[in-house]
A = this chain, B = another copy of it.
Amino acid sequence: MTEKWYRQCGEQSEMVISTRIRLARNVMGYPFPNRMTDEQREELKRAVREAVEQIGGLVLEYIELRDCEQRDILAMVERHLISYDFAKQQTGALLLSPDERISIMICEEDHLRIQVLGAGLDLEAAYKMADLVETALDERLHFAFDERLGYLTQCPTNLGTGMRASLMLHLPALQERGAIRQLSGNVSKLGLTIRGAYGEGTQAQGAFYQMSNQVTLGISETAAIENLNGIAQQIIKQEQAAREAMLSMPQFEDRVWRSYGLLKYARSLSNEEALKLLSNLRIGIVSGLITDVSLEVVSALLGDIHPGCLMAQAGEDLTPESRDKRRADLVRAAMM
């Protein structure tokens, strides 16, 4: 089995969990997905599938969402391979690389959403890979492009590059300090948005945040990526300073070691608690307090502990209680 991309750590992994590049593209000669007939949709899916098969060196599995179990679809949402809206429709299809690094949603909001994921800070490489796939597909499918508006997309907010670049950041010290709201206000003035990567509460579960560019029109892909990267570097510096203060807090060590003890021995863990504890464990590893668990183990768990992932792995639907038990089993096994 090919190792999944998220089981690794990349550049600046102390604070950057992962990178995501997503390109929205539409094929000339077809209406946007919300106006397509069933026949047109099937025709487009076939065309994209065939185009991908013609690209040398690119092996993507073709997955019809309507043929999938609900738990497998949920797992794909949790791993950020498909969007929640795409999962709901169930009329689309997905092309997916064995390492889950490259995925193409067919008939989401746009005809194609080409996505490349990567561990750590990996904007350039991820963009290069997305661009390669996009170029190869463009040759065969011919994407709708306008000299003034750039790539045509169903929603005008994606016009231009059609590119969304995101970084998943781990910001426990800034969250602890209550600094995320102000940070969010600041980055939005710079054309970026920041939100919790998991859950939907006011505070991000486990202090994992997704930061992405909002502007796609009147800016090149490279400039957008540079902008995102530059602001990320500033946030990393702020988090670094906040962490130094956090590390000298009297309760810091206790909190890290308690999290370690609970992850190592608990027999039942809710998703929310697991995220919180893994967040504490992560900063414990980065700060050098915990030496017998690697960041890779935490990264792998962050990809595996979600409800759908657990059920997909089990191959059956599970009650919340069984999931909490399985989650604790998975974490314990990984911590040994």
Contact surface of A with B, Cβ cutoff 8 Å: 250-251, 253-254, 257-258, 260-268, 321, 328
Contacts and interface: CB of A to CB of B under 8 A. Distances in A.
A257 B250 contact: no
A267 to B, nearest CB: 4
A228 to B, nearest CB: 38
A258 B254 contact: no
A328 B258 CA distance: 11
26 contacts: A250-B268, A250-B321, A251-B268, A253-B267, A254-B266, A254-B267, A254-B268, A254-B328, A257-B265, A257-B266, A257-B267, A258-B261, A258-B262, A258-B265, A258-B266, A258-B267, A260-B261, A260-B265, A261-B261, A261-B262, A261-B263, A261-B264, A261-B265, A261-B266, A262-B262, A264-B265
A264 B266 CA distance: 13
Contacts of A266: 254, 257-258, 261
A98 B266 CA distance: 41
Contacts of A328: 254
Nearest to A263: B261
Nearest to A264: B261
A96 to B, nearest CB: 36
Contacts of A265: 257-258, 260-261, 264
A321 B263 CA distance: 25
Given A254-B267, A261-B262, A261-B265, 19 more contacts: A250-B321, A251-B268, A254-B266, A254-B268, A254-B328, A257-B265, A257-B266, A257-B267, A258-B261, A258-B262, A258-B265, A258-B266, A260-B261, A260-B265, A261-B261, A261-B263, A261-B264, A261-B266, A264-B265
A250 to B, nearest CB: 7
Contacts of A321: 250
A321 B250 CA distance: 9
Contacts of A268: 250-251, 254
Contacts of A258: 261-262, 265-267
A258 to B, nearest CB: 5
A266 B254 CA distance: 5
Nearest to A250: B321
A187 to B, nearest CB: 35
A258 B270 CA distance: 14
Nearest to A255: B267
Nearest to A259: B265
A258 B67 CA distance: 41
A250 B253 CA distance: 31
